[in-house]
Amino acid sequence: MSIYFVHKIAQLVAKDSAFRERMKREPAAAIAGFKLTDEERRALLAGDVGRLAQLGAHGYLLGHLARNEVLGLSMRNYPQRIHDPGSTV
Amino acid sequence: MGEIVAGFGVPHTPMFPALVAREGPQCETAQLYRTVAEHLGAIKPDALIVFDSDHLNTFFLNNYPNLSVGVTDQTSGPNDGTPGLPHYVVPVAEDIAARLYGFGLESGFDLALAQEFDVDHSILVPLHFLTPHMTLPIVPVFINGVVHPLPAARRCFALGQMVRTAVEALPASRTVAVLASGSFSLDVGGHLSPRGEFAGTPDVGWAETVLAHLRHGRINDLLNEATSERMARAGNVAGELLNWIALMGVLGDRRPSFLEPQIRMGHAYGVWRWD
C-alpha cells in the first residue's frame, strides 16, 4: 500500500503551495515523514517516474510532479522518463 | 413523474477551452461542441444529470468512491487549474440528486454521498461549451473511471437503468437530460502515452470498436468487451467509457441521432433524441 504515499506526495505538490515550495527547496526533508519504501524514496528523489510507474504509481498523479517542476522534472523531460525507467535525462 | 428527454456524450479535454479561444468558433472542436449544445438548447430540459469521472481532484485515494452522487444546491470549479476556464458556480438540482441518492440505496446501489465538493475540468469543460451561462441545474453522478480496478461495466449500465427509474419516479413533473463525459482511449502522464508525448491515444482501434457499438446499439457486446483490463490497455483514464455505458443504461435500446468522433483523440460527440 505504500505507493499510496507516492500518490499523496504528488497530490500535495499539486494542491499545497507550501509543500510544493518545500519540495523545490529540500525534497529529501519534505518527504522524510512519509511511509515510503527505500526504492520509492530513491526513485522519487531521482525524479525516476518510469520506475515509480513500474511500482504501480498512477501516471495522472505523477504528472503533477512535472506540471509543478519538482524533483528535476518538467513537461519536457517527463515523457522520456515515464517511458524509460532509470532514465534521468 | 419525471421524464428522460435526451442523452448526450462529449469529451472533456482540458486543453479545449484554450484551443477554441485560440482557433475560433469555426475550428472542428468548437463546431462539434456547438452541435451538441444546439441539441441541448432545443430540448430545454429542467435538469442535466452528468455521469463523470473525477480525476482525483474532487476526491482522493484516502477515500475514493466508486459511485457517488453530489447532493447539494451548488458546486464550483475548476479545482484543477484548467487553462482558459473562468471560475464557475453551477447550480445543482438538489431535490433530484437527493431522490436519486435515496432511490439508489433502496435499489441496492451503495452510493457514496457528497454534500460539499468542487469539481474539475471533467465536468466544467463540457459545461463551458454546452451551458456557458451555468443556469441549467446539474446532478453530478461520479463513476470511478481512473483508479483501477474499475467498477464493472454491467454495474454501471445497471446504475444508468436505476437512474432512469428514479427519474420516472420523481414526485413532480420534470424533464431531465443526461450527459456522459469522457474518452474511450486516453492516457495522461502514463507509459501508454505515445513516446515523446505527455498524453495521447494509445488504442485508436478500441475507440473505433466502442464507436461502432454505440452507433449500432450493440450494447451487450460493449458490456462484454469493456472489462477493467481491456480499458486499462486503452489508457489510464480510458475507464471514462463507463460514463457512456451508464448513459446507455439510461437510454435503453436507442441509436444516436448524431455521433461524430475525433478518432485520433480517442473520443466522440453524441446526441440521442427522440422528440
Q: Residue A78 and residue B189: Cβ atoms within 8 Å?
A: yes
Phi, then psi, of A59 in degrees rounded to 5: -60, -35
Whether B136 and B39 have beta carbons less than 8 Å apart is answered as no
**In chain B, what residues touch A84 (CB-CB under 8 Å)?**
none
B108 touches chain A (CB under 8 A): no
Q: Does A8 touch chain B (CB under 8 A)?
A: yes
Q: Is A46 in CB contact (< 8 Å) with chain B?
A: no
Give the separation between CA B90 and CA B105, rounded to whole angstroms: 25
- Please say if the pLDDT value at position A1 is more than 70: no
Confidence of residue A88 (pLDDT cuts 50, 70, 90): confident
- Report how far Cα B178 is from the mean position of its chain's Cα atoms: 9
ipTM: 0.94
CA distances from B172 to A41, B68, B74, B97, B137 (A): 56, 23, 21, 14, 16
Q: Do B56 and A8 touch (CB under 8 A)?
A: no
Report residue A16 as a C-alpha cell.
499545497
Judged by a CB distance cut-off of 8 A, whether residue A53 touches chain B is yes
Residues A66-75 pLDDT 10s: 999 999 999 9
Q: Quick: pLDDT tens for B27-78.
A: 999 999 999 999 999 999 999 999 999 999 999 999 999 999 999 999 999 9
CATH of the domain at B179: 3.40.830.10
Pick A53's closest partner by Cβ from B62, B190, B198: B190
Using a CB-CB distance cutoff of 8 angstroms, which residues of chain B are in contact with residue A4? 61
Listed by start position, the domains of chain A span 3-83
Which alpha helices (H) appear in chain B, and where do they start and end? Answer: 16-23, 28-43, 94-106, 121-130, 153-168, 204-215, 219-225, 228-233, 241-251
CB burial readout B141-164, b (16+ within 10 A) else e: bbbbbbbeebbbbebbbbbbbbbb
Comparing CB atoms, the residue among B61, B197, B236 nearest residue A79 is: B197
Q: What is the pTM (predicted TM-score) of this model?
A: 0.97
Specify the DSSP class assigned to residue B147.
S
DSSP letter at B198? S
Nearest-5° angle of CA B209, CA B212, CA B216?
Answer: 145
A4 contacts B189? CB cut-off 8 A:
no
The answer to whether B65 and B142 are in contact (CB under 8 A) is: yes
In A, minimum Cα distance to B188 occurs at: A60
Given a cut of 60, whether residue A54 has pLDDT beyond it is: yes
CA dist B39 and A34 (Å) reads: 50
* B61, B146, B197: residue with CB nearest A4: B61
For strands B199-200 and B112-114, give the pairing.
unpaired
Residue among B55, B146, B198 minimizing CB distance to A79: B198
pLDDT at A89: 76
| Cβ–Cβ contact A42 with B under 8 A | no
What is the tally of structural domains in chain B? Answer: 1
- Residue B101's domain comprises 2-273
Q: Do B189 and A8 touch (CB under 8 A)?
A: no
| Chain B contact for A43 (CB, 8 A cutoff) | no
Chain B residue numbers touching A75 (CB-CB < 8 A): 198
CB proximity A62 to B under 8 Å: yes
The per-residue pLDDT string of chain B (275 residues; one tens digit each, 9 = 90 and over) reads 899 999 999 999 999 999 999 999 999 999 999 999 999 999 999 999 999 999 999 999 999 999 999 999 999 999 999 999 999 999 999 999 999 999 999 999 999 999 999 999 999 999 999 999 999 999 999 999 999 999 999 999 999 999 999 999 999 899 999 999 999 999 999 999 999 999 999 999 999 999 999 999 999 999 999 999 999 999 999 999 999 999 999 999 899 999 999 999 999 999 999 99
pLDDT of residue B168: 97
Q: Do B56 and A53 touch (CB under 8 A)?
A: no
Task: Give me the residues paired with residue B180 across strands.
Answer: B9, B51
Instruction: State residue B47's pLDDT score.
Output: 98
Please tell me if residue A84 touches chain B, with a CB cutoff of 8 Å: no
The Cβ of residue A74 has, within 10 Å, a number of other Cβ atoms equal to 14
C-alpha dihedral over B201, B203, B206, B211, to 10 degrees?
Answer: 30
Closest CB to A63 among B62, B146, B189: B189
Tell me the nearest-neighbour CA distance from A40 into chain B, angstroms.
17
